[in-house]
Chain A
Amino acid sequence: MRIKDQWNEQRIYSSRTFAAMLIIGLLSLALLSKLAYLQIIRHDYYLELSQGNRVRQDPIPASRGLILDRRGRVLVDNEPAFQLELIQEQTPDLPGTLQRLAKLGLINPEDIDPLKRIIHSRRSFDSVPIRLRLSDEEIGRFAVHRYEFEGVELRARQTRHYPYGELGVHALGYVAAVSEDDLDRIDKPGYAGTTLIGKLGVESAYETQLHGLNGYQQILVNAQGRSVKFQGAYQPDLRAEAPVPGRDLMLALDLPTQQAAEAALGEHRGAIVALDPTNGDVLALVSHPGFDPSLFSRGLTRSEYSLLTNNENKPLLNRALRGAYPSGSTIKPMMALAGLTYKIVDPERREFCNGAFHLPGSSHLYREGKGGKHGAVDLVDAVARSCDVYFYNLAAQLGVDRIAAFASQFGIGSLTGIDISGEKPGLLPTPEWKKQAFKRPQDQVWFPGETVNFGVGQGYLLVTPLQLAHMTAQLAERGESFRPRLVMGVRDTNGAIVRNAAVAAHGATGISDTDWALVLRGMVGATTYGTAAAIGKGARYSIAGKTGTAQVFTVAQNARYNEKTVAERLRDHAWFIAFAPADAPRIAICVLVENGGFGASAAAPIARRVMDAYLLEGPVAANTATSTSPAGSTASTGDHTP
C-alpha cells in the first residue's frame, strides 16, 4: 500500500512538474515576444519618445533688426524691458493664477480670456508673454508675490523702441504681442520665444527679415520639467544654436524730409508722399493723424484700442495708401498729355474760357471750379492756370475710353506695388466698370457728362496720395516708372549695406519729347505765374507743380462754392503735386490736405517746405551717401538727427 502510494505520487509529481515547466516555458516565450516587440519592432518609436521626454528646447529669441533711414540714422531700435512670461505646464492653476495677477494689477482683467486662449494655442512648454514692459514699481510688486505664482517668471527681453514716437508711423508700422490670428499664420516653433510681431508698415511687410531666426539651447529636464545640469552619471550631448539676429533695414526714407513733412502738415488731416522719381524711393510718407507705435508694443488694453478705432479722425487709417479721394485738377497734366498724344488738341491754339462749358445739345453747365473766366488760353496756360473749361472740352473730345487707357499707364486705378501692405487701388471709372457697379439699368449707362467731369478729376475717379505721387514721378521722368519702395536695402551682419536695385514698372509710352516739354512748361508755369505762383517765389530751384481741389459735396447748378459758409468736414480736399528741380527732378511729391480748401493755398506751401528740406539740406549729403560708403557718410557730412 505504502509503495503503491509512493509510485502514484511519483507519477503525479513527474507529470505536474512537466506541466509546470511547460507553462513556465510558454510564459517566458510570451514575455520574450513582448520584449522583442517593445525593444526591436517599436524601438525607434520609444527612443523618440524618450528623447522628447528629457530634452527641451529653450528658445533664445533673435534680436529684431533695426530700421534705419536712408543715411543710416536709427528710426527704430530695441531696448531691454521686463515682462511676465508663463509656462502652461508649470502652472498648476492657470485661471486662478491669471485672476490673482489681475488682482495685483499686473494684468488687465479684460485680457484674461484672450490670454487664456493664446496660452492654450501655444505648446504647453512654451514660455508665453502675458504682460509686457513692466514699470519698476510693477516689477517690485511682482517680486514680493512671486512665490504665489508658480510657472510665471519675470524675464528681461528686448522690446521695440521708437525714438521719434509717432514719426512715420504709417510707414514704419508697429509691433505688438503675437496674437491668436498671428498664430494661425506663422510658423509656431519658429516664434517660440518671440514676444512681438510686426503688425503694419515696414515692421509687418519685412517681418521675416526683421525677425531673424530664433536660436535654442537644449536643456535637460527631469520629470517635473525643471532644468537640470545632469542627473546621475547621465550627461547627454546637448546642442545649442545661437540666434541669427534680424537684418537691419535701410529705408529710403529721409529723416529730415520726413520731419519737415510732418511739421509742414501740422495738425491738418492729410497725407504726404515724396518719392525719388529716378528709382521709386519713398523719401517721406506721412499720414496724419498718426498714433504712438509704442502703445502697441507695451500692450494695449481693449479700451485704449477702441479709443483709437472710434476716433473720428481715424488715426489708424493710412491715408497715404488707403485714402481714396477725387483727384481734382492734379490729373490735368496727364490729360494734356493724352490730348497731345491722341492729337486732339493743337497746343498753339487758344481756346476761349468764359467760365462755363456745356456739351452740344445740352443745357447743363460745367463751371470753373473757382469761378471766374480765364479768357483765351493755350494748353500751357490751361495747365498752369488750371482752366477747367479747356479740359472739359478736351475730355469730351477724347472720350472716356481713351482717357481711361491713358490714365492706366500712369497707374491710376491700380496698385503702385509699394513694399508695404494695405494699399488701395482707388477707382478708374470706365463704362464697363459702371455696368458692373450699378444694379439699376438706368444707372449702368455711361453719360457723356461723366466724361466731362473726368477731365478735371471729379466724378467717380478716386486716387490715393501714393498713386498721385507715383504719377508725378512718372511725369518727372517722362514716363519712366519705378515701383515705390520704403526699404532700399539691408545691413548685413558685417555692417555693410546690401542695396536692392530699383524695380522698374510699366510706365507711360508713346509720348513725344515735345509733348512732354509742353506739359512741363505748363507745370512750371503753375508755380511761376499760375495757380501756385506763391510757392515758386524765392525758390532756389525750379518747381513743376499742379494744384488740385477735390469736391467733397456737389455744388448746386446755379450756386457758388463759398469756403466760409461750408462746414469744415464738407470743405474741398486740397491737393498739390510737384517735382523739382524741374529740369533734373530728384523729388516728386504729392500733398493732400483733407478739407483743406484750395490746393494752391492749403497744400502747395506744405510741398514747398518738404522740397526745401530735401533739396536744400539733405540731398547733397544723401547723394554722397548713396554713391560712396554709406556707413561712414554720416560722420563726413554732418548729422541731421535732432
Chain B
Amino acid sequence: MILDDNRDSAARRTFSATARLLSALKLDGPLLVGLGLLSVYALIVQYSASGQSLETILRTLMRIGIGAFAMIALAHSSPNFLRSLAPWLYGVGIVLLLVVDAIGYVGKGSQRWLDVGLIRFQPSEIMKLAVPMLAASFMHERRLPPDWRNLLVLAAIIILPAALIAPQPDLGTAVLVFATGALVVLMAGLQWQVIGGLACAGAGAAFVGWRFLHDYQRQRIRIFLDPQSDPLGSGYHIIQSQIAIGSGGLFGKGWMNGSQAQLDFLPERSTDFIFAVIGEEFGLLGLIVLMLLYLFIISRAVFLATQASGTFARLLGLSLALTFFVYVFINAGMVTGLLPVVGVPLPLISYGGTSVVTLLAGFGILMGLYSHRKLVNS
C-alpha cells in the first residue's frame, strides 16, 4: 500500500476511496491487510492439510465471514459501550460455563460445547474477550498500578472462568483465558517484585496442583519432557510433528507434498498441528514468513492499543494484541516440542472451532478502540 511515489491519479483515487471506506467501517487498513494475508495463507495450508477438501475451505470461509461481521460490528462499538457491556458479557459467560459443566457432569463426560440449535458454540470462547474487558473496566476507575485489594478482585475475575474451563477438560483455553486477564494486570503496571512473588507462589501452586491434573494432562507434561519415552502413545504427536518440521528443511517439500501430513502420520494436522504441516511443506522459509506476518499483526495491534484513549481502551487493547502472541507461541512451542501439548490452535490458521470468530472479534474491538480515540479526547 506504499503509493507515495505513484502519480497515477486513478490509483490514488482508488486508494483514497478505500481509505474512506475503511474509515467509514472504522477498520484499520494495515491490520486488515495483515489479517487478510494470514487468512489467504490459512486457506492454502488448510487445503493441503485437509487432503484437498473443498468443504474445509468453504467452512473456513464461512467462519471468516462470521468473524468479519463480528469485527465490523465491534469496531463500531465505542469503548464506553464495551465497558458497560463487560459485566454482562462476563456474567452470561460464567452462567453458560456452569451450564456446560453441569451438562458434562450429568453426561459423565468431557463437555465443551453448547448446542444452540444450528450452531454449536463454545462458551469458553466468550471468556477470552469478557475477562480482559471486565479486568480493564475494573482498572479504568482505579489508579494504576493496582494495589493489593484491587489485585485480589482482578485475580478472582481471572481465575474463576479459568477454573471452570480447565476441568472441561480444556487446558489450552483455560491457559489463554488466564493469559488474557493476566496481561491486563501486567500492562496495568503490576510491580516487578509482585510479579516475581506471584511467579514463586504460582510455582508452589503448580507443585500442589499437579495432583489435581487429569492423568492425560500429567502425561502430556511428562511426555513433553521426554517425548521418546512413549513413541507410540502420548509422545507420538510430538515425535511425528518434529519429523514433519525437521524433514521440511529450509525450503520444504512443496505444497501438498508433505509426506508426514499427507499420509496420516501427523495427527490433528489441520487443527492443532497445522504449524508442522507448514514446516514440512514450506520449510523454514514458510515458517519465517508466517512469523513475520504474525509479528506485523501484533506490532500493528500494539500500536493501535497504545494510540487508544483511556485506561480501559488501552489495557483491553494491549491485552488483546499480546494474547495473540501468546496463542502463537504456545501453539508453535507445543508443536516444535518447546512447550507441553496443551491444545491451543494456531490463531487464524488452524481449522475449526470458534476461535476464528473470537479472534476477529477481538481485532474488531481493537480497531474500534483506535478509531474512537479522537471522540474520547475531544
Contact = CB atoms under 8 A, between A and B. Distances in A.
Do A and B assemble together? yes
A222 B267 CA distance: 12
A16 interface: yes
Contacts of B337: 34
Contacts of B338: 30-31, 34
A281 B20 CA distance: 104
B258 interface: yes
Interface residues of B, number: 51
B185 to A, nearest CB: 11
A40 B279 CA distance: 12
Given A17-B306, A50-B244, A234 B256 contact: yes
Contacts of B358: none
Given A38-B242, A224-B264, A12 B318 contact: no
Given A13-B187, A13-B306, A5 B259 contact: no
Contact of B291 (A32, A43, A231): A32
A17 B318 contact: yes
B180 to A, nearest CB: 13
A42 interface: yes
Interface stretch (B58-66, B86-94, B109-117, B246-254): B246-254
A143 B247 CA distance: 42
Contacts of A322: none
A39 B249 contact: yes
A223 B264 contact: yes
Given A17-B318, A31-B329, A232 B306 contact: no
A445 interface: no
Interface in B211-268: 242-250, 256-260, 262-265
Interface in A188-240: 220-224, 228, 231-234, 236
Interface in A430-483: none
Given A20-B318, A24-B295, A31 B263 contact: no
Contact of B48 (A49, A50, A220, A232): A232
Nearest to B52: A232
A313 interface: no
Given A17-B306, A39-B246, A40-B249, A12 B262 contact: no
Contacts of B143: 5
A43 B263 contact: no
B318 A53 contact: no
A605 to B, nearest CB: 71
Interface residues of B: mostly helix, strand, loop or mixed?
helix
B314 interface: yes
A350 interface: no
A38 B246 CA distance: 5
B284 A54 contact: no
A9 interface: yes
Contacts of B189: 9, 12, 16
Contacts, number: 142
A473 to B, nearest CB: 64
Nearest to A230: B262
Contacts of A38: 242, 245-246, 279, 336
A234 B265 contact: no
Nearest to B255: A233
A549 B357 CA distance: 105
A234 B263 CA distance: 8
B79 interface: no
Contacts of B186: 16, 20
Contacts of A222: 263-265
Contacts of A228: 263
B333 interface: yes
B287 A35 contact: yes
B249 A13 contact: no
B197 interface: no
B70 interface: no
A553 interface: no
A45 interface: yes
Contacts of B295: 24, 28
Given A5-B143, A9-B311, A46-B247, 8 more contacts: A20-B186, A24-B322, A34-B336, A34-B338, A40-B250, A46-B242, A47-B249, A53-B263
23 contacts: A8-B144, A12-B188, A17-B302, A21-B299, A24-B325, A31-B291, A32-B288, A34-B338, A38-B242, A42-B246, A43-B249, A46-B243, A47-B246, A50-B243, A50-B246, A50-B247, A50-B260, A221-B263, A231-B263, A232-B256, A233-B48, A234-B258, A234-B263
Interface of A: 5, 8-9, 12-14, 16-17, 20-21, 24, 27-28, 30-32, 34-36, 38-40, 42-43, 45-47, 49-51, 53-54, 220-224, 228, 231-234, 236
10 A-B pairs with least C-beta separation: A46-B246, A12-B189, A234-B262, A50-B247, A233-B256, A223-B264, A232-B262, A38-B246, A46-B247, A47-B247
